[in-house]
Structure 1
Amino acid sequence: MKKIIKVATALFLTSLLIGCTFSKKEYKSYEEYPVYEGNDMELTYSSEKSSFRVWSPNADSVVLSLYEDGIKGKAYRSLSMKRSKKGTWKATVKGDLKGKFYTFRVKIGDKWLNHTPGIWAKAVGINGQRGAIVDMNETNPQGWENDQHQFPNNPTDAIIYEVHMRDFSVSPNSGMNNKGKFLAFTEKGTKNSFGQATGIDHLKELGITHIHLLPSFDYASIDESRLEEKKYNWGYDPQNYNVPEGSYSTNPANPTQRIKELKQLIQSVHKEGIGVIMDVVYNHTYVGGESHINQLVPGYFYRFNQDSTWSNASGCGNEIASERPMVRKFMVESLVYWAKEYHIDGFRFDLMGIHDIETMNAIRQELNTINPKILLYGEGWTAAGSPLAEEKRALKKNVKKLDGIAVFSDDIRDAL
């Protein structure tokens, strides 16, 4: 009798163990990939522990590596992540990791892909190759809790001034100290050699309601470790979507500082009653195959032609497949993050015509829960053809299908 009980107990425990074990599944197409609905992607930090979660359904192994520096040196610790639910992998490291850096590395079959800071990374080291572990509370400038969004009573009342972060202040004649930096927007009383107001004082003179900042997320074409070379780019080459660009910070190597300084910009502009619109470029990445996104989930985030070549509606070598559930989840969560964490007042979508209508309306719906006055508008066209059917895309001709989202008119622009 005792033997029977022992055997039954062993079988019961084994069934529990099997039930809690996640194994790799084979997928015939991206449509079969599972969708993770949780809100704990990438990193959840506390002084007691750091929990990491990445989504890579097709991976055979995922390794988390920890570093002392944001770009130099080898990992001081690497650990295998455990396969978890809905295509995710997770790992928890006890202790306070604040100030450390991390990467993920995926193995598919017998091939190890490149190290990546992940897709949902919110802080990175210099040049954006390693994720950074920061306490986001330490990124808030003094009085940030009192900062308020700035919205017009009606979206048609918006008077928007488009400006490049660097160009705003870099002129030798600008009279500003923080030339080409986020902090230039915090300087008051500046004048040029003719005695004319510059900087934020000039913005007030214009009578605008909003500034539209050209891409200010972390982009790839500027080497943040060699800013003395004075390289220049508009910023339409995304690398890490949820992180401020390091070259606009006074110290790109300090992950906390670049976040804080962008918040200081926004706070300063808000104090003058001016809203901040962010130019977002979710339609493509700077590179395709070697991008951080593709090194975690090869192929899933991109569209391809029928002959398996990369589709290129962006004109930049690739285009994002916004219609796929986990891509949609990422875009929605990214925009919500910018609106909540940085108090962004609106978003201008580069080549919005690449994105599908369902995703754009999902973005509008989710941002409405924060404030329905958040402005959304974009370019209702593409740079080339796309494999996604026209009737499904956020093109100018489909504007009636978009809920609370405006489009530019290139016909009026071209006529002018």
Structure 2
Amino acid sequence: MRWLFSRQPVIDFYHPFAESVKLVIEGQAEPWPMRKKRTGHWIYRLRQKTRRELHGRAYHFQVRHNGDTYTIYDPMAYHTKRHEHGLVSYISNIEYKWQKPRFRPPAFRDVVIYETHLPALSRHQSAEVEDESYRGTYAGAKSHKVLDYLKRLQVAVEFLPLHASDNLLGQDWGYFSTSYHAMRNCYALDESQVNREVMELVDAMHSRGIPVLLDVVFNHGGELWVKAWGEDIVYRKHENGDFCHGSGCGPTIRTEHPHIRETIIKTLLHLVKEYRFDGFRFDLGALHDKQTMLEIDRRLPKHVYLIAEPWALGGVQWGKGDLHRDLAETRWAVWNDDFREPGRTFLVGGGDH
């Protein structure tokens, strides 16, 4: 979903092979036919409907293909919930008035990154929160005492994944994203306002001069992507037709596919524009094809930090040596395991000097 001007939401769904697509919104008597563009995208402008009127309504696409009709939920929805029969997409009002709209992070070379699981900032009893119900939530992470502490450390905060995820596979850590425009409901005080609560958290940190980075997992998962576009588009295969499993967590996402590459980049741009994230850390970034890495660097605003893990269990598309070759003229940085591993060995008493 995207929004046109200030009041008109535009529903945008990619399905190049569909014969017809209709938009079905909860509470509407009839489905609305969508118009196909040459790019394979189907769109519908919701005239005379404001964001507030539509907020919280479930919706899906009625797709006709090869004579059959399918129900597909929006892989680009801003809000999703898991029900008995699977994930459901909901329209969400993402308007927010920023208190610190002009915040810009310091130069990357001057940043010390504090990586944290969001609930860990306020779950423990030692964390002072305004209300006990805030523990382990977006609201708890922006409690005054938590922000005071982070401000004293003079760090940038990098959150483990906050995208909607499957707890059955990714547990509480969030490393099995089901889609990438929706945020995790479980940390919200009000699930229907989850997008706003994430924005309020970033805004509060920016007001204290704290840059905010997000860990993104575009290498596996993507349940709603697969249901919408199919495994052949979303997942990478070997020459023999078997799926690549470079992450150890399921098939590897096919970042080299033009639609997947474009979707990843548009998602990142959305996260920068709407949520004001200052940077991204790419989980198992070596599974992303090199052209996608170059395109991300080219198209994201220049103040955005870009960090990748330069490794994977298999099927890597690039390595640390490429920082001196194809990626040399980009802003890409990598997690430095050449320092991390000896440092960890020394700290636990395994070193001899």
* Range of TM-score over shorter length: 0.7 to 0.9
Report the counterpart of residue 325 of structure 1 in structure 2: 258
- 1:414 alignment partner AA: E
* CA gap 1:311/1:82 in 2 versus in 1, 3 angstroms: same
Please state how far the C-alpha of 1:111 moved relative to its aligned partner. 4.7
Residue 405 of structure 1 is matched in structure 2 by 332
How many pairs align? 330
**Structure 2 counterpart of 1:132, from 68, 77, 90:** 90
Task: Show the 5 A alignment for 1:299-314.
Answer: 299-314=232-247
Deviations 1:256-286 (A, max 9, x none): x111111111111111111001101111115
TM-aligned CA distance change 1:242 to 1:206, over 3 Å: same
Given the alignment of the two structures, is residue 66 of structure 1 paired with residue 25 of structure 2, yes or no? yes
**Large movers: runs of 4+ above 6 Å:** none
User: Is 1:347 the equivalent of 2:280?
Assistant: yes
Show the counterpart of 2:351.
none
Query: How many Å apart are 1:293 and its aligned residue?
Result: 1.0
How far off is 1:171 after superposition? 1.5
1:87 matches 2:40: yes
**Which residue matches 1:161?**
114
Which residue in 1 is equivalent to 2:66? 109
Amino acid at match of 2:224: H
CA contact under 8 A between 2:23 and 2:60: conserved in structure 1? yes
- Contact 1:50–1:95 (Cα < 8 Å) also in 2: no
Larger radius of gyration: 1
Query: In structure 2, what residue type is equivalent to 1:183?
Result: A
After TM superposition, give the deviation of residue 367 of structure 1 in Å.
Answer: 1.5
* Counterparts in 2 of 1:150 and 1:222: CA distance versus 1, 3 Å: farther
Cα separation, partners in 2 of 1:325 and 1:112, compared to 1, 3 Å: same
SS at match of 2:23: strand
Q: Using the aligned pairs only, state the percent identity.
A: 25
The one-character-per-residue Cα deviations of 1:82-136 (angstroms, maximum 9, x if unpaired) are 4432222233444315223311243432554453123x22334567933333443
Taking structure 2 as the reference length, what is the TM-score of the superposition?
0.84
Aligned match of 1:147? 101
Partner residue, 1:29 = none
Compute the displacement of 1:328 (Å): 1.4
Normalised to the residue count of structure 1, the TM-score between the two structures is 0.72
Q: Is it true that 1:53 corresponds to 2:6 in the alignment?
A: no
**Partner amino acid, structure 2, of 1:129:** L
CA deviation string 1:346-401 (max 9, x = no partner): 11000000111211121111113xxx2211111001122x2xxx5xx242232222
Q: Distance in 2 between matches of 1:284 and 1:241?
A: 12
Shift of 1:50: 4.5
The root-mean-square deviation of aligned C-alpha atoms, in Å, is 2.6
Q: 1:200 to 1:92 in 2, by over 3 A?
A: closer
Question: Could you tell me how far apart the structure 2 residues matched to 1:244 and 1:107 are?
Answer: 29
What's the counterpart of residue 245 of structure 1? 184
5+ residue gaps, structure 2, are 344-353
1:186 to 128, 142, 147: 142
Q: Distance in 2 between matches of 1:50 and 1:268?
A: 27
Q: Counterpart of 2:349?
A: none
Change (3 A) 1:48 1:358: closer
Q: 1:245 to 1:222 in 2, by over 3 A?
A: farther
Structure 2 partner of 1:337 = 270
Q: Assess, with a 3 A threshold, how the Cα gap between structure 1 residues 105 and 317 changes in structure 2: closer, same or farther.
A: farther
User: How far apart are residue 169 of structure 1 and its match?
Assistant: 0.8
The code of the aligned residue for 1:205 comes to: R
**Offset at 1:222?**
6.7
Q: Give the letter for the 1:109 counterpart.
A: N
- 1:270 aligned onto 2:216: no
Structure 2 counterpart of 1:258, from 191, 194, 200 = 194
Query: Distance in 2 between the 1:93 and 1:340 partners?
Result: 22
